[in-house]
Structure 1
Amino acid sequence: MKFSSRTTTWTVALLSVVVMTTASACGGGSGGDPAENGKVSIVFAYWGSDARQKLTEEVIKKFEAKNPTIDVEGDFSSWDSYYEKIATKVAANDAPDVMSIEIRGLSEYAGRGALADLSGKVPAADLDQQVLASGQIKGKQYAVPTGVNAFSMVANPAALEKAKKELPEDTSWTWDQWAGLAKEISATGSGVTGAEYNFNPAFLQIYAAQRGEKFYDGNKIGMSAETVKSWWAIHQKLIETKGSPDAAKSAEIGSTGPEQSLLGTNAGAMGMWWSNQLNALTKSSGQEMTLLRMPKAEGATTGGMFLQPAMFYTASAKSEHPAEAAKLIDFLVNDPDAAATLLSDRGLPTNAKVLAAVKDKLPAVDQKTLTFIEEVKSELSPIQAPPKGALEMEDILQRNSEEVLFGKATPDAAAQKFLSEANAAIAG
């Protein structure tokens, strides 16, 4: 997923959450006392597309049918406005009872007392325990994964065929080979650009792992300046060889989602996306897409890829209806009826029994995603929630990356500036 620059706003707004300790609890957005009809009302906040909103409304109706004493108000927002709105509500002590968040925000929210500990409140025995652990901070289960995905290379076989190129052997290809293939595709005159790059920290995290380094090492950055500069060199090579659009066009494309990407508009052959975005890319392009392993750095002994929750369900620590909030989360992750509606929209289910129950109902593109995840799962590293301040990381990384690619800063100077800014963001 492409992340929004509004995450900085979220971080700033969250700083005011500390005032909650001096304010009276006012009900986690649930409206306080039960409604006049005797029902309890809770609020469920989430972001996404119109398609996700429709699916979520359907799954809420199913939950209410099974739990007639609970009304759920869906609080839907677009991606661009979601975090700013949630941060404001949390800071005002009026957080939704159930909130969707991504892994970058988990430490921030949990560390400021905004989230309830769900340990023992949401049944978790059938969930993937490795993935479940990613929702823990200091031994407490503050978040439950909605589903899983992996940051991967996506290719359009038809575009490669048009350029008279074959799909690469993804178990052994290197970044140089990827860039070379992209150059060759762009040079064929087929009207298709070989590749598009992006500044998602997941890309750099994978690349750093291939070089034996960690993106985060506690409350500091674990990468060397040489690794960051080497990573930028991949982007520079793509631009110089016309394997990708120039810096300005790439920046323009990078501010959009999968539907407006080169792959999504049939203007590109390869790009990096989360595996659960294969569906959106397929629908927008009208083409069958293929998931591939990420290329490796020369001499790498690990691919560096990791299994990550698509997002989390969390409950407000201030909710006046914690049992009902936990019951909704339980339904969303453990009930086959919920999974039959949501399918892979929030990642493939982490509940093995639920996944088995809906596996045959998954559309062909989701079956492809499942097959890929199962194929590479043994190669994927576990993931831990990054430290507080990680919400700012993409803005910091993109800003410094663009300074390099637009020629405004040397890689040496930009690498030192990136590391200094990144370390400052997560120091506390």
Structure 2
Amino acid sequence: MKRILAAAAATLLAVSATACGGGDDGSGGKTKVVFSYWGNDSRQKLTEAAIAEFEKKNPEIDVEGDFSDWDSYYEKLATKTAAGEAPDVMSIEIRGLAEFANRGILADTAGKVDTAGLDQEVLKAGQVDGTQFAIPTGVNAFPMIVNEKTLEEHGQKLPDDKTWTWDDYIATAQKVTEESGGEIWGTEYNENPAFLQIFAAQRGEQFYAGGKVALTEQTIKDWWALLQKIIDSKAGPGAAEMLETGTKVDQALLATNKSAFGSWWSNQLDALTKGSGQELSLLRMPKSPGATGSGMFLQPAMYYTISAKSEEAAAAQRFVDFLVNDPAAGAILLSDRGLPTNSAVVTAIKDKLSPADQKVLAFMDSIKSDLSPIVVPPKGAMEMEDILKRATDSVLFGKAKPDEAAKTFLTEANNALSP
């Protein structure tokens, strides 16, 4: 992200700053607010319905949805912000918060959006250096997800997720693969930094500290050894098959009934359940021996932010307030951007949530006492997932030794985080 923003800024340095918004632009005299967000067709439909509801309640405001798919979203947003044409309301994720805030792109929302009804601990995750630059849309966790029916069909019992270890997890998954004759994998695995963050936290290590990656080389190598053990034991597929599966939920082995276990963000349970046509459940992640905590954490699914240069800040604030506080918005968006952090909204929409989302709600409540604090990553963290994936793939495909890859990862990661 830092490189994308910097390149866009250099290209557009000579462009004079102009802000989005304004009422005299063909919108019939209404105040116009531009709202940028990413996602799939389903999210676009839900968002358009929420916008329509807002406009019904606020007929003097016209909200223009600026939708992009994930792959092009940040590049498009970086170009617009560098040109001084930032959308009035922007969706961003936690890895990009410090980057956008430190570039003066985001407005301070404190006292401008009603946050009294939001989870105050989650709300803090929208702050950078004490300033409330972002409002969380909802919260996620990164649990282990299991197809209980698949386990039972292959002679395995649901593990006790308060006590199970990584070895227990791999042994159970290995038996599923064996009992199925290789037709079903015991588990799929995920190279998401959240997985490594949980693994490291169980060892008392933070992913970030002091603006740098705080992981030790040994912990990184041990995490790769865990993934390699999954492959070597046939508990899960090899690196090539996992690469084909990709990171899209509809391609997940869980979604296609080719796996018993898998780790995904909690707000993806509904999509995984619909894809599999079977009931799936959420479990705490396995623990390392001697770990005192699960290492799991709540994380904002994404944020709503307001441009520091918006000419229609008041209307933008009203729109964000609607999205996070109005039960009508909650009833439309449901868990698409994570379960709402406003308890009154959750209460109002609870009966409308799908059975899968009801499970997520109950699971989130059950793990509250066993969660690590939310940490906003430093500027440059948007690049971390790609850097970690390159290093992980280099090890799993046998192109680099773990010692060499760990050093390369730390060097590249900390270079990305440098001012």
TM-score interval, smaller chain: over 0.9
- 1:152 maps to what in 2? 143
Q: Give the C-alpha shift of residue 189 in structure 1.
A: 2.3
**Matched residues in 2 for 1:381 and 1:36: separation?**
46
Q: 1:244 aligns with which of 223, 231, 236?
A: 236
User: Which runs of 5 or more structure 1 residues have no equivalent in the other structure?
Assistant: 1-9
Q: Give the C-alpha shift of residue 31 in structure 1.
A: 5.6
- 2:121 maps to what in 1? 130
8 Å Cα contact 1:26/1:32 also seen in 2: no
Q: Secondary structure at the match of 1:151?
A: coil
Q: Give the C-alpha shift of residue 32 in structure 1.
A: 6.5
Amino acid at match of 1:187: E
8 Å Cα contact 2:140/2:301 also seen in 1: yes
What is the TM-score with the length of structure 2 in the denominator? 0.97
Q: Secondary structure at the match of 2:18?
A: coil
Q: How many residues align?
A: 417
Q: Give the C-alpha shift of residue 85 in structure 1.
A: 1.2
Q: 1:143 aligns with which of 134, 140, 150?
A: 134
- 2:383 maps to what in 1? 392
8 Å Cα contact 2:23/2:29 also seen in 1: no
Q: Give the C-alpha shift of residue 16 in structure 1.
A: 4.7
Amino acid at match of 2:221: K
- String of CA shifts for 1:258-298, please: whole Å, max 9, x gaps: 11110011111100001110000001111110000000011
**Matched residues in 2 for 1:326 and 1:210: separation?**
39
Q: 2:201 aligns with which of 209, 217, 221?
A: 209
Which segment is superposed worse, 72-81 or 100-109?
A: 72-81
**Matched residues in 2 for 1:378 and 1:36: separation?**
49
- 1:281 maps to what in 2? 272
Q: Does 1:224 align with 2:216?
A: yes
**Matched residues in 2 for 1:168 and 1:159: separation?**
13
Q: Give the C-alpha shift of residue 159 in structure 1.
A: 1.1
8 Å Cα contact 2:23/2:30 also seen in 1: no
- 2:55 maps to what in 1? 64
Amino acid at match of 1:344: S
**Matched residues in 2 for 1:390 and 1:256: separation?**
19
Which segment is superposed worse, 85-94 or 291-300?
A: 85-94
- 2:318 maps to what in 1? 327
8 Å Cα contact 2:24/2:30 also seen in 1: no
Q: Secondary structure at the match of 1:242?
A: coil
8 Å Cα contact 2:270/2:354 also seen in 1: no
- String of CA shifts for 1:340-368, please: whole Å, max 9, x gaps: 11111111110111111111221211111
Q: Give the C-alpha shift of residue 335 in structure 1.
A: 0.3
Q: 1:256 aligns with which of 235, 238, 247?
A: 247
8 Å Cα contact 2:107/2:308 also seen in 1: yes
**Matched residues in 1 for 2:27 and 2:242: separation?**
54
8 Å Cα contact 1:39/1:70 also seen in 2: yes
Amino acid at match of 2:396: L
- 1:97 maps to what in 2? 88
8 Å Cα contact 2:145/2:263 also seen in 1: yes
Q: 1:350 aligns with which of 328, 336, 341?
A: 341
Q: Give the C-alpha shift of residue 13 in structure 1.
A: 2.4
- String of CA shifts for 1:78-131, please: whole Å, max 9, x gaps: 111211211111122111111111100000000101111111110001100000
Amino acid at match of 1:245: P
**Matched residues in 1 for 2:14 and 2:122: separation?**
35
Give identity over the alignment, percent.
59
Q: Give the C-alpha shift of residue 244 in structure 1.
A: 0.8
- 1:234 maps to what in 2? 226
Q: Does 1:48 align with 2:39?
A: yes
Q: 2:67 aligns with which of 76, 80, 91?
A: 76
RMSD of aligned Cα (Å): 1.5
Q: 1:189 aligns with which of 177, 180, 189?
A: 180
Q: Give the C-alpha shift of residue 256 in structure 1.
A: 3.4
8 Å Cα contact 2:231/2:238 also seen in 1: yes
Q: Secondary structure at the match of 2:105?
A: coil
Q: Give the C-alpha shift of residue 165 in structure 1.
A: 0.9
Q: Give the C-alpha shift of residue 427 in structure 1.
A: 2.2
8 Å Cα contact 1:276/1:347 also seen in 2: yes
**Matched residues in 2 for 1:330 and 1:143: separation?**
12
8 Å Cα contact 2:17/2:83 also seen in 1: no
Is the alpha carbon distance of 1:44 and 1:36 closer, same or farther for their aligned partners in structure 2, counting shifts above 3 Å?
A: closer
Q: 2:166 aligns with which of 157, 175, 178?
A: 175
Is the alpha carbon distance of 1:179 and 1:68 closer, same or farther for their aligned partners in structure 2, counting shifts above 3 Å?
A: same
User: Which runs of 5 or more structure 2 residues have no equivalent in the other structure?
Assistant: none
**Matched residues in 2 for 1:37 and 1:216: separation?**
49
- String of CA shifts for 1:298-354, please: whole Å, max 9, x gaps: 110111000111100011112111111111100000001000111111111101111
8 Å Cα contact 1:131/1:382 also seen in 2: no
Matches of residues 296-375 of structure 1 in structure 2 within 5 Å? 296-375=287-366
Q: Does 1:410 align with 2:401?
A: yes
Q: Secondary structure at the match of 1:424?
A: helix
Q: Does 1:426 align with 2:417?
A: yes
8 Å Cα contact 1:43/1:97 also seen in 2: yes
Q: Give the C-alpha shift of residue 22 in structure 1.
A: 7.3
- 1:25 maps to what in 2? 17
8 Å Cα contact 1:155/1:289 also seen in 2: yes
8 Å Cα contact 1:194/1:243 also seen in 2: yes
**Matched residues in 1 for 2:288 and 2:260: separation?**
21
**Matched residues in 1 for 2:123 and 2:24: separation?**
33
8 Å Cα contact 1:13/1:91 also seen in 2: no
**Matched residues in 2 for 1:117 and 1:132: separation?**
13
8 Å Cα contact 1:32/1:320 also seen in 2: no
8 Å Cα contact 2:137/2:341 also seen in 1: yes
What is the TM-score with the length of structure 1 in the denominator? 0.95
Q: Does 1:163 align with 2:154?
A: yes
Amino acid at match of 1:289: L
**Matched residues in 2 for 1:76 and 1:22: separation?**
27
